[in-house]
Amino acid sequence: MRLSPFATRPMRRFACAAVAALLLTACGGGGGGGGGGTQTPPTNQNPPPTNSSPVASFALNPGAGGSAPLVVTVDAAAANDPDGTITGYEWDFGDGTAVQVGEVTQHVYTAAGAFTIQLTVTDNEGATAVAARTLNVSDTSVTVSVSGTINILPSSAVDSDVNDRFSGTTSNNTFDNAQPITNPVTLGGFANLPGTGASTGNLFASGDVNDFYQVELSGGEQILLTIAEPDADLDLTLWDENRAMVDSSVGVTTTESISVPQAGIYFIEVNAFAGASNYVLNVGSTGTQSADGTVHRLSDAFVPGELILTDPSTHQPTISLARLDALAPVAGGGRDARANALRAAREAALEARQLPANARLNAEQRLRMATLLTAKQAARSIGLAAEPNAIRRPLLTPNDPFYTRQWHYESANLPRAWDLTTGSSDVIVAVIDTGVLLNHPDLNDRLVPGFDFISNAARANDGDGIDANPDDPGDLQFGGSSSFHGTHVAGTIGAETDNGTGVAGVDWNARIMPLRALGVDGGTTFDVIQAMRFAAGLSNDSNTVPSERADIINLSLGSEFSSSAEQNTVNQIRDLGILIVASSGNEATDLPSFPAAYDGVVSVAATTISNTRAPYSNFGGTVDIAAPGGNNGTDINGDGIGDGVISTIGDDGSPGATVFGYAALNGTSMAAPHVAGVMALMKAVYPALTPAEFDAALAAGELTVDLGEDGRDDSFGWGLVDARKAVLAAIDLANGQGVDPGPILAATPSTLNFGTFGTELTFTLTNVGTGTLTVTGVSADEPWLTVQATDSNADGTGSYRVIVDRTGLADGNYSATVTATSPAGDATLGVALQVQSANTAADAGLHFVILVDNDGMSNLPAAVVQAQNGEYRFTILNVPPGQYRVFAGTDSDDDNFLCDDGEACGSFRTLDDPETLVVNDDVTAVDFVSEYRLSLQSLSGAQRVGASASSGGGIAFKKPPLPETDTTSTGETQ
């Protein structure tokens, strides 16, 4: 069977039979007629050499098939004979015609059908070999249609002037024509200098140096700019309504960010300093201030006018300080020559950054801007390493920049668990997955040696079968980049935490054992079993075992097929006291998924930010527990990013080295590592924890907050994992150490953002402490808010609905507080919304919808659809029967590739694991989500070495001819 990260489709695995070797001996015979003759030894003791069989292989063009009459060309040039030559080629085309001969030949199919082409090759010693492939020939007289709906986040928006030649351009290049946007917003855009980017696009000749957006903000929001192309350089500036500069972020990595100081009307400017790139602009209620540890904002603490210069040959500061405001042309070499070069860099930088008309900056802001731009230009144009002279201050609490966006940790009550323990390095968690990016800076210090158990070299994608290197080379999934699924899972379990970089992990100290079992198109049960045995220190195909076996095994993978061999392996591992956790699957079904459904495996379902069952999550009698898996199709907390699980990731969607970064994914694959991490925290305080003890505590309600029906239910198992309760239960098992915290009332999520159009959202009240608690009241402090209990318990905990009534409210931003009271203390959550009379329904930009066959080809012209009332409806007509994956997205940079970084992208059912549709009749209800591809790269080294500025990492597709009139809103392709 084939196993994938998201509980996927089957693939047969054929076992190799063991062949017994026969020992052949020569026997002497007596002489004929008379007795007593002696045996004569053979004259040659070496047996004749054994002939090696030839290898049959052939290429087929077109490999994807086509419509009758279809001319195909077959080429057997790849066939070979290891110890001789191939002397014969015979072709059977499967349609009853005569066999043809020849190394290369052509054949015409005159009728539709599925035909098996078989090649038989014969070598010079008469041995033969056979290769076969199936070809689908369609009937052009039979066509069908594929239709559905593409949903987007309500906060989605699109830059009014992008490079896509199909999109109209409405300039937003100045303060006066700034484009209005909402708060929160997730906006896809494009910016470029003249003469850069795709030459076919709208903006190649003129350039699009500045994009301006006007927005009303409440104060405290974070503005995040994510740049798609690593060779481009875009900057971010915030201006107040009087066009005075508030702050500017002018770094050189792929993210820029600014914190909004107070309520007001603002202009947000995206500026192209160099090159061309898509981008994603997020405005939300939470976020990160310092993304990469470098000084790159005007508001950062540095000495204006001073730079530290470093000699690139010695890597030593050769000039400690240089005052830019005092620089003047000087003669001579050495330091004087460097001063001249630095002065030239400043002039070039200020020329490149042309300030908009009527912009207002004070003298210190101008000097700060000159300092930052000079440092950037010095590295770009003259290779002189220069950095601002940062001011150091004592730090009270180190943090991880993207932790404020990791809502899922609050949902699992992790912050309160960390008051009790942050984990132990004595605990090892094995991650059996696609491998891990071993050099990811937020993981590299947490890893122990692992192994690659992918036995098929093509699936492994690293040039060989099993080996000792579990580094993830990528799985080449559709969507422009490999999934780097194992890296995301590992980051949730144990990303390096409180290191000022990236994200936090559930466990701050446990070590991670990376084991590869999934590659291109998933993996096999056999390879997963071998990885499990290695993790447990049992015999396996690697003929080695780890120096320390794992305490916990995480399996964010599965399929609908069971294996007795795998169940037996689980039994062996459980008997050793090792905990096994697995994802329940993403098919939204009650059918069991394996390995999660095996006896002895903890099966994890997924919840959303609202503590509801995720729409994709499997359910049923085999589910044991629930954990945050997220839903990128919502943005309930209003941080400008879909409510997925944020963790470590890589991006190989463009040429050059893989970029290390961070991204939000959703799925039960994301839920399982939350539970594995909590198990690691329990092991830290009670190393002797056994699977039986964990199961007993789970069934006793000691590890979870009960959701759904009382006790165990098919949606959530025994409930949502509660890290603090779990650690307290482990402490109790370790002889009652620790302090009973008593009841604690908590509201999840802590923020509700209705944006411009939302009218109803839900939150949950839970007791995240111990003992009993009674909610005595729930109220809102504004008359336009109504709070209603929807599924509350007798003690008042449970689900509540918040309803907004905008009637009579003037345009603007509004905030309120909902308060729940109890004798044990109160819980509050913030509420934000916008009132905007203009019709600005969600729009993620012009979408192209394509069908991709099993060979990865998109041969039909794309359907071109516009958003209508915040969604896209499409119908693709005249589709030849066949098997297809459905993709949709924008092409803002006009490179004829979908799903580039910074572009909206989606696939049926999910982009992480596109489903194959069998299209024989009209197919309807092909409904899925499109969202902006966003990699939260926050590392100063995030630039790809030697990367090309061109994209090409997405899915190539054919654009239809430009319409003579505007027909793009029909959503139909003929």
Among the options 669, 892, 935, 938, which is catalytic? Answer: 669
Cα–Cα distance for residue pair 581/696, rounded to 1 Å: 15
Write out the H or E segment, with its range, that includes residue 347. Answer: helix 335-352
Among the options 107, 485, 488, 847, which is catalytic? Answer: 485
Active site residue 695: no
**What pLDDT sits at residue 314?**
54
Phi-psi region of 626 (alpha: psi -120 to 50; beta: other; left: phi over 0): beta
Share of the chain above pLDDT 90, in %: 47
Binned at pLDDT 50, 70 and 90, residue 15 comes out as very low
- pTM for the whole structure: 0.58
**What pLDDT sits at residue 934?**
64
Asked if pLDDT for residue 790 goes beyond 70, the answer is yes
Closest to 519 in 3D by CA, of 468, 473, 481, 560: 473
User: Average of pLDDT values for 261-275?
Assistant: 94
Closest to 715 in 3D by CA, of 680, 674, 671, 677: 671
Backbone phi and psi for residue 964, each to the nearest 5 degrees, phi listed first: -70, -30
- Per-residue pLDDT tens digits for 551-572: 999 999 988 888 888 999 999 9
User: Average of pLDDT values for 621-649?
Assistant: 90
What are the angstrom distances between the C-alpha of 260 and each of 268, 365, 973? 11, 17, 44
- Per-residue pLDDT tens digits for 915-972: 888 888 899 999 988 988 765 543 322 222 222 223 345 677 878 777 543 333 334 4
**What pLDDT sits at residue 36?**
36
Strand order in the sheet with 827-835: 751-753, 827-835, 812-821, 777-780
Q: Residues 252, 379: contact at Cβ < 8 Å?
A: yes
Grouping H, G, I as helix, E, B as strand and the rest as coil, residue 369 is: helix
Cα–Cα distance for residue pair 437/659, rounded to 1 Å: 10
3-state secondary structure 285-299: CCCCCCCCCCCCECC
Grouping H, G, I as helix, E, B as strand and the rest as coil, residue 606 is: strand
Lowest mean pLDDT, pick from 129-138, 488-497, 721-730: 129-138
Asked if pLDDT for residue 325 goes beyond 90, the answer is no
Binned at pLDDT 50, 70 and 90, residue 26 comes out as very low
Cα–Cα distance for residue pair 289/304, rounded to 1 Å: 20
User: Average of pLDDT values for 805-826?
Assistant: 89
Structure-block tokens of residue 261: 């100081």
Phi-psi region of 365 (alpha: psi -120 to 50; beta: other; left: phi over 0): alpha
**What pLDDT sits at residue 287?**
45
Closest to 726 in 3D by CA, of 581, 836, 859: 581
Binned at pLDDT 50, 70 and 90, residue 113 comes out as confident
- Per-residue pLDDT tens digits for 653-695: 777 888 899 999 999 999 999 999 999 999 999 999 999 899 9
Active site residue 674: no
Binned at pLDDT 50, 70 and 90, residue 339 comes out as low
Among the options 159, 433, 912, 913, which is catalytic? Answer: 433
* Residue bearing the bigger pLDDT, 254 or 323: 254
Asked if pLDDT for residue 40 goes beyond 60, the answer is no
Cα–Cα distance for residue pair 297/384, rounded to 1 Å: 20
Q: Residues 393, 300: contact at Cβ < 8 Å?
A: no
| Planar angle of CA 136, 140, 144, nearest 5 degrees | 90
Active site residue 669: yes
Grouping H, G, I as helix, E, B as strand and the rest as coil, residue 434 is: strand
- Per-residue pLDDT tens digits for 185-204: 999 999 999 999 999 999 99
In the DSSP assignment, the letter for residue 404 is G
